Amino acid sequence: MQDSPIATDKKTEIEEAIVSGILSGRIKPGTRLGESQLATVFSVSRTRVREALMRLEARCIVQVSPRRGWYVIEPSAEEAMMVYGARRALESGMMRSLSALPPDGPAILEAHLDQERAAIASGDRQRLTYLMGDFHIRIAELSGNTVLVDILRDLTARTMLISLQYQSDFHARQSHEGHCAIAAALIAGDVAKAAALSIEHLDEVEAGLDLTVRPDPLADLRHSLSLPTSRSCSLQSAGTPFPTNQGD
């Protein structure tokens, strides 16, 4: 039951399924999201699929090319830098506001870090990817501010797309250590240090990207040729085109 994640109400089912796919790295930037295909997969009419896609478009997660199709956003280098910039501003500011951690805060952080360690040990990369992004959301949750959580959730989804597009290799251990340092500072109550570490951490992750070279300079051309992106997207023709139940 933990596969079809949360399984919220009918209304946001499709939206959440797509976001979940992105968050766990199953759906890549540039993936085509055909209305009819999704309608078939979810056994609904195009109307509801469109509504979900519209909402995702408002969240800057998908994009429609008029009369051509819906595609998961392929963030440009500029957009990538801006997303990281926004996260630096938001998260550092958030840290500074976290002077009083809730009583169970340390335990929550420790539990999450344990999960990260377990994922590293087991080599479950999809889960690790998800956890790495989720750490920051965990912290936002500690603030008790759901507005902050929602904003950060969207930024995390976009970050995931950026990583998939520009990250040459994933320094899981380095990221994990960054998380540990931030958590330690927070638990120690040193919010200024936590803020500084957050900026540093995001800088590191951003530095791990290769933004100077476009990962797929022929992306536009490929689109005109209707080739998915660089590799197959598996949404196009596979028997189970939308593996929402994959992963943990």
Partner DNA sequence: TAGGGCTGTCTTGCATACAAGAAATGAACG
Partner DNA sequence: CGTTCATTTCTTGTATGCAAGACAGCCCTA
Residues found near DNA in the complex (CB under 7 A): 10-11, 33-37, 44-48, 50, 64, 66-70, 223-226
Is residue 140 within 8 A of residue 148, CB to CB? The reply is: yes
CB of 206 to a second copy, least distance (A): 13
* CA distance readout (Å), 186 to 4, 87, 108, 110: 33, 18, 12, 12
Is residue 149 within 8 A of residue 178, CB to CB? The reply is: no
Pick 56 or 128: Cβ nearer DNA? 56
Query: Does residue number 77 form part of the binding site for a second copy (CB under 8 A)?
Result: no
Stretch that binds a second copy, among 146-154, 200-208, 218-226, 238-246 (CB under 8 A): 146-154
* The entry of a second copy, DNA, none that residue 35 binds, CB within 5 to 8 Å by partner kind: DNA
Pick 1 or 225: Cβ nearer DNA? 225
CB of 52 to DNA, least distance (A): 10
| 220, two tokens | 């536009």
Closest C-alpha among 56, 59, 60 to residue 38:
56
Binding residue (CB under 8 A) for a second copy from 26, 28, 32, 88: 88
* The entry of DNA, a second copy, none that residue 97 binds, CB within 5 to 8 Å by partner kind: a second copy
Stretch that binds a second copy, among 30-38, 50-58, 103-111, 216-224 (CB under 8 A): 50-58
Q: 202, exposed or middle or buried, with CB in 10 Å at 0-12, 13-18, 19+? A: buried
**Alpha-carbon distance 173 to 171, whole Å?**
6
